[in-house]
């Protein structure tokens, strides 16, 4: 929904917080896009990593879990 309203995915700088709070300059923002007022944690209770644009070829953004070892990108689990 965010992309439909804003015309692009949130920037890395705005991050997933943009789904809850209107980023500066986002006039067409129509959120919040998540219920509960917070970004959920991954299954290991760590924050998700979000990057836009993506580090991976052909992807618009990365939404990743660090897996059980927070801070270790070698075990990163990302959107397909």
d(CA 63, CA 1): 16
Please compute the mean of the pLDDT values over residues 5-13 and round it to a whole number: 95
CA 56 to chain centre: 15
Share of the chain above pLDDT 70, in %: 100
Share of the chain above pLDDT 90, in %: 80
For the chain, domain boundaries: 1-32, 40-80
pLDDT of residue 16: 97
pLDDT band for 10, please (50, 70, 90 cuts): very high
Instruction: Judge whether 63 and 50 are in contact, CB under 8 Å.
Output: yes
């Amino acid at each position: 929904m965010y992309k439909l309203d804003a015309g692009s995915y949130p920037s890395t700088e705005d991050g997933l917080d943009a789904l809850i709070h209107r980023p500066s300059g986002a006039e067409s923002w129509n959120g919040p896009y998540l219920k509960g007022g917070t970004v959920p944690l991954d299954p290991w209770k760590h924050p998700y990593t979000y990057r836009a644009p993506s580090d991976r070829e052909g992807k618009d953004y990365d939404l990743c879990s660090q897996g059980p070892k927070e801070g270790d990108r070698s075990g990163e689990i990302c959107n397909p």
